[in-house]
Amino acid sequence: MSKGAVTREAILDTASSLARSVGLGGITIGTLASRAELSKSGLYAHFKSKESLQVQVLEHTRARFVAQVVAPALTAPRGEARIRALFENWLAWDQQPGGCLFVAASSELDDQPGPVRERLVRDQQDWLDSIAEVFRTGVSEGQFSGSPEQFAFELDGVMLSHHMSSRLLADGLSVERARVAFEALLDRARV
Amino acid sequence: MSKGAVTREAILDTASSLARSVGLGGITIGTLASRAELSKSGLYAHFKSKESLQVQVLEHTRARFVAQVVAPALTAPRGEARIRALFENWLAWDQQPGGCLFVAASSELDDQPGPVRERLVRDQQDWLDSIAEVFRTGVSEGQFSGSPEQFAFELDGVMLSHHMSSRLLADGLSVERARVAFEALLDRARV
């Protein structure tokens, strides 16, 4: 990577971390300049506008999500092992400081039309499709039956409930409850 | 109610509606003054500070939530009929413009310590307790078995997934998926 690309990645890491605690809407060229100790004019040169910055934060976070959650799961055997890996990778992802940015951004942006929301909608749809696709490998291996989209809807619900219980309520039983819910989903899916 | 109390309720209705679209953090004496066409000094007299305003918006919304979601469900027969009523009342509640404020506030405030977050934590805990309590009436009627807290965790997940799918993704199948998930939870709970 060029020096400019390295700087840009480092700034986007800082911005992604800031967004996880204050929300994507809290990420402006100004707040980021003071956090990253960079000049506002330098940040404008990299990111042009607040909206473009927020879209790039989502794209950057999505690349990390794919690398940490989705891609490693795809190396597990098709079907149950792969869906377990996807779930466990997501639990680890949500334990980073501030939790999963996509969960927070979903309620933040659902009433804010524009390019940032459009980017997020595609990301969320791709995530649900990824879960459904991994479920489908279990169907074609003869392990699972049922609707992959219904499974994705319900597994996402388990993750959202865990995010809320562990982060807002600091419920120490949350991970255990999420795993019990996950096993019940698998039991129902098994042929 | 006194004239002052009527005015206060009307202002809190407006504030609650505004918070559902822009977030609780977007509710300041200033934004509310321009939306409600009231003077900032008049609003200060009612609400003292931004933080106190946000806490009162949560308290006001909680009272509406209890009146529209929880209280009517308690008139249904104990057990399955009551848990169905609670679920359907919540679905109707989440269909109001902007959806359920508590869902949006949960991710917004999970990293923002202070009295507003503390109020929200108590509200969310009470809501999970209400679900568990209704489930328990089904256990004592001999209809259900299993952990009421686990059921509450999972039912809340179904609701959160529906909120995201219907509001962010505008998925027309979301209500149907939520009902399928709810029936599966009941099937598992049945003795």
CATH number assigned to the domain covering A50-189: 1.10.357.10
- The complex's ipTM works out to 0.95
Q: Does the CB of A175 have a partner CB in chain B at under 8 Å? A: no
Residue B188 to residue A160: CA distance in whole angstroms: 21
CB contact under 8 Å between B25 and A21, yes or no, is: no
Choose between A71 and A33: higher pLDDT.
Answer: A71
* Chain A residue with the nearest C-alpha to that of B153: A161
Q: State residue A59's pLDDT score.
A: 97
Return the closest-CA partner of residue A150 out of B102, B191, B71, B183.
B183
The per-residue pLDDT for range B76-129, each reduced to its tens digit, is 999 999 999 999 999 999 999 989 999 999 988 988 999 999 999 999 999 999
Whether residue A178 has pLDDT greater than 90: yes
Q: What pLDDT, on the 0 to 100 scale, is given for residue B159? A: 98
Domain positions in chain B: 50-189
Residue B1 has pLDDT above 80, yes or no: no
Torsion-angle region of A146 (φ positive above 0: left; ψ -120 to 50: alpha; else: beta): left
Q: State the count of interchain CB pairs (< 8 A) between A and B.
A: 125
Which positions ≥6 away from A32 have C-beta within 8 Å?
A11, A14, A15, A18, A38, A43, A53
Say how many residues make up chain A.
Answer: 191
Å from B98 to nearest chain A CA?
A: 7
Give the helix/strand (H/E) hosting A166: helix A148-167
Distance from the B61 Cα atom to the nearest Cα atom in chain A, whole angstroms:
17
Rounded-to-integer distance, Cα B90 and Cα A42, Å: 48
On whether any CB of chain A is under 8 Å from the CB of B58, the answer is no
Instruction: Determine the residue of chain A that is closest to B24 in CA distance.
Output: A108
Q: How distant is the Cα of B1 from the closest Cα of chain A, in angstroms? A: 34
Contacts (Cβ under 8 Å, ≥6 apart) of B101: B16, B19, B20, B24, B57, B58, B61
- The residue written with tokens 């879960």 in the block is A131
Q: Name the H helices within B66-169.
A: 71-73, 80-94, 101-109, 115-140, 148-167
Query: Two tokens at A114?
Result: 């524009």
Q: Considering chain B, what percentage of its residues have pLDDT values greater than 70?
A: 100
What's the pTM value of the predicted model, to 2 decimals? 0.95
Distance from CA of B45 to the nearest CA of A (A): 29
CB contact B190 to A (< 8 Å): no
Q: Which of residues 105-144 of B touch A (CB under 8 A)?
A: 106-112, 117, 120-121, 124-125, 128
Residue of A22, A107, A118 to mutate for B, most B C-beta atoms under 10 A: A107
**pLDDT at res. B94:** 96
**DSSP 8-state code for residue A70:** I
Give A83's contacts (C-beta < 8 A, 6+ positions apart): A73, A131, A134, A135, A138, A186
Q: What percent of chain B is modeled with pLDDT above 90?
A: 76
Check CB contact of B168 with chain A, cutoff 8 Å. Answer: yes
**Torsion-angle region of A156 (φ positive above 0: left; ψ -120 to 50: alpha; else: beta):** alpha
* pLDDT greater than 90 at residue B26: no
**Residue B149 to residue A125, Cβ atoms within 8 A:** no
User: Mean pLDDT throughout B31-45?
Assistant: 87
User: Looking at the DSSP assignment, which residues form a beta bridge with residue A190?
Assistant: A144
Q: The tokens 């990645």 sit on which residue?
A: A9
Report pLDDT for A7.
86
What's the rounded Cα separation, in Å, for the pair A155 and B155?
Answer: 12
Mean pLDDT of chain B: 94
User: Residue B157 and residue A160: Cβ atoms within 8 Å?
Assistant: yes
pLDDT at B166: 96
The better pLDDT of the pair B176, B25 is held by: B176
**Amino acid, res. B15:** A
